[in-house]
Structure 1
Amino acid sequence: MKINIDRFVLFIILTIIIAYFFPQWGSKSSPIPLDTIGEVGVSLIFFFYGLKLSPDKLKSGLKNYKLHVVIQLSTFLLFPVLVLSAYGLAKTAALPIAQQQTLWLALLFLAALPSTVSSSVVMVSIAKGNMPAAIFNASISGLIGIVITPLWMGVLLQNTSTAGYDLSDVYLKLLIGILLPVVLGLLLQRWGGQYAKEYNEYLTLFDKSVILLIIYKSFSESFEQHIFQTVHWSDMAVISVAVLGLFYGVYFLIGKIANALNFSIEDRITAQFCGTKKSLVHGTVFSKILFAGSASVGIILLPLMLFHAFQLLIISAIAAKLGKREA
């Protein structure tokens, strides 16, 4: 079976390497205003997201409510519950307490994130799943995540030594930086929606460029303050196994739930593909707000980036196989 490595994953690796050798460009003393550029870029990402969001498709997608409930509960409830239940087993004794806590935050942050949009829809299309339902759930997940993800993180952060987590401040930043641009995009869809669809490839390239910029900024600060020196290769292996186990655990459970609810093969594919995805776009954006000022953002993003790479590799292989089935 041929597995194609997504080029974006390779660019992420290259970005981290650049951050390792040239962290000064992303430091707080850098003359390049990467924080400001990133904030403007993020707002534009979600403005274009609003331009491309189809209200008609969202309305038509409401009919298959059982499928939608399974996908959204898997994304925002099943993932966090599995991570919370495995907390005692996931502790790494070799790490200092503060480092354990950071990695624990990183895993819960991954679990609390919304699903992806583009890759979910593309993979469901390749596997011949329920496309309208995939578009609906992928689109609505990001909007739900604006509310749910900070709530999940607030539950943990308010019970740890992490200081300065103000939920009202977080929601204000999300409202201004994310929700407001989405609403503005929806309002201007009548005039700019067609252009957004026509130039979708360029907008996707812009999205990925902003994400790479945020990743560079996060990792350069972590490298400059030597945050990763306490993370050994054995710890990386443990994190990778945990991330893979989380993915396959959710994929398996969604399959069982879909069979119990007598889903068609198309609906089961959509449930498993959309319900197991986590958004790197939302993760990098939310990390800037939820963990603002923290030098450990690089470590917090590490499980998410590993999960992103694994989900693309695994789901693309499964989608290719399912796409060859007889009608």
Structure 2
Amino acid sequence: MKIDLFIVYLLLSIFVAYFFPQLAIYEGGALLDAITSIGVSLIFFFYGLKLSFDQIKSGLKNWKLHVVVQLATFVIFPLVVLLFRPFVGTLISENTWIGFFFLAALPSTVSSSVVMVSLAKGNIPAAIFNSSISGLIGVLITPLWMSLFLDFTTENVLVDVYGGLILEIILPVILGLLLQKYWGHWASKHSKKLSNFDKSIILLIVYSSFAHSFENGIFSTLGAIFLVELFVAVILLFVLVYSILYFLSKYILQFSLEDQITALFCGSKKSLTHGSVFGKFIFMNNPYAGFFFLPLMIYHAFQIFIITFIAQRYHNHSK
């Protein structure tokens, strides 16, 4: 299996944030914030340009599959993490739990879910629909979940969080949709280059979050044992949610194999792109922002590895 270079770049961005945090804190971080804000808006403008109405319409018919995927993404995931809330202060710290809950409340991935479903020969139109709609639902649901456990007294939730998400995500997507007939072909043709642009903006957001956390000494007390425990907890979370989806889609709802694959792959994945963008607003001025991103980054790396492996097995069995 090939090493995903983006994971390497993520680690490198943390390394750079540790040794060279100056860009993030220059002029109070205003310069980097402006760059990432423009970048985020462009990401979702291009996303709107690439949305396929025909594929989304064809995927609308399978409503049971869509309900399962979205329930897994925005209900089952958070409820699983909520089960461990009583252990905060004894087995797990408050900030560690918040990081996991943020991961659990995020939307599913977009492009990678569709790619993996395609490789495993699953229901591609349904995967496109669920991946596309998940991010838009997340704009509303993710901040709502997080507002239950984060102190938003320093921010106005409606203006700072929802206002920022609407301005930098929803409006650019709508603009992209309106201009799709003019520039849609161009966006599809340059999809790989646009994907690289997306990743560059994510790296800047990750760099900024970790630079501020390093400057505030957030990671000074973390050791290797904690990181190992974090990695094990991420794996257990994936296995638990994946197992629930497998049992639900195969034995309870008795989906076809194609729909099972789509439910498993779309329902068990979390989006680093949306996580980076949402975190920019939800963790505004929070020195622990970089720390809160740790479970998401580990989960992102693990899901790419394990879902690629599983997708390849489905592909081989279908031959």
User: Which category of TM-score, normalised to the shorter sequence, fits these structures?
Assistant: over 0.9
TM (norm. structure 2) is 0.95
How much has 1:20 moved relative to structure 2? 1.2
Q: Which residue of 2 aligns with 1:155?
A: 148
Residue 177 of structure 2 aligns to a residue whose secondary structure is helix
The amino acid that maps onto 1:118 is: S
- Residue 261 (str. 1) matches residue 253 (str. 2): yes
How much has 1:166 moved relative to structure 2? 2.9
Structure 2 unaligned spans of 5+? none
Q: Which residue of 2 aligns with 1:85?
A: 83
The amino acid that maps onto 1:44 is: L
Q: 1:283 aligns with which of 261, 270, 275?
A: 275
Q: Which residue of 1 aligns with 2:312?
A: 320
Q: 2:157 aligns with which of 157, 164, 167?
A: 167
Alpha-carbon contact 1:120-1:277 (below 8 Å) kept: yes
How much has 1:156 moved relative to structure 2? 1.7
Q: 1:133 aligns with which of 126, 130, 144?
A: 126
The one-character-per-residue Cα deviations of 1:81-128 (angstroms, maximum 9, x if unpaired) are 0000122346565x8xxxx22222111110000000011011111111
> How far apart are the structure 2 equivalents of 1:82 and 1:290?
21
The amino acid that maps onto 1:168 is: L
Structure 1 unaligned spans of 5+? none
- Residue 224 (str. 1) matches residue 215 (str. 2): yes
How much has 1:313 moved relative to structure 2? 0.5
Over 3 Å counting, the alpha-carbon distance change for 1:156 and 1:51 in structure 2 is: same
Q: How does 1:52-91 map to 2 (within 5 A)?
A: 52-89=50-87, 91=89
Alpha-carbon contact 1:114-1:144 (below 8 Å) kept: yes
Q: How does 1:1-327 map to 2 (within 5 A)?
A: 3-29=1-27, 33-89=31-87, 91=89, 100-158=93-151, 163-169=153-159, 170-259=161-250, 260-327=252-319
How much has 1:236 moved relative to structure 2? 1.5
The amino acid that maps onto 2:270 is: K
Alpha-carbon contact 2:65-2:263 (below 8 Å) kept: yes
Greater Cα offset, 104-113 or 73-82: 104-113
Greater Cα offset, 120-129 or 224-233: 224-233
Aligned residues, how many? 317
Greater Cα offset, 56-65 or 165-174: 165-174
How much has 1:25 moved relative to structure 2? 2.2
How much has 1:294 moved relative to structure 2? 1.2
Alpha-carbon contact 1:154-1:165 (below 8 Å) kept: no
The amino acid that maps onto 2:273 is: V
How much has 1:296 moved relative to structure 2? 1.0
Greater Cα offset, 145-154 or 18-27: 18-27
TM (norm. structure 1) is 0.93
**Alignment RMSD:** 1.6
> How far apart are the structure 2 equivalents of 1:271 and 1:59?
18
Residue 324 of structure 1 aligns to a residue whose secondary structure is helix
How much has 1:240 moved relative to structure 2? 1.3
The one-character-per-residue Cα deviations of 1:243-277 (angstroms, maximum 9, x if unpaired) are 11111101000000001111111111110000001
Over 3 Å counting, the alpha-carbon distance change for 1:317 and 1:115 in structure 2 is: same
Residue 219 of structure 2 aligns to a residue whose secondary structure is helix
**Identity over aligned residues, as a percent?**
52
Alpha-carbon contact 2:88-2:94 (below 8 Å) kept: no
How much has 1:28 moved relative to structure 2? 4.1
How much has 1:231 moved relative to structure 2? 2.0
The amino acid that maps onto 2:63 is: Y
The amino acid that maps onto 1:25 is: L
How much has 1:241 moved relative to structure 2? 1.4
Over 3 Å counting, the alpha-carbon distance change for 1:198 and 1:256 in structure 2 is: same
Residue 229 of structure 1 aligns to a residue whose secondary structure is coil
How much has 1:171 moved relative to structure 2? 1.2
How much has 1:31 moved relative to structure 2? 8.5
How much has 1:165 moved relative to structure 2? 4.4
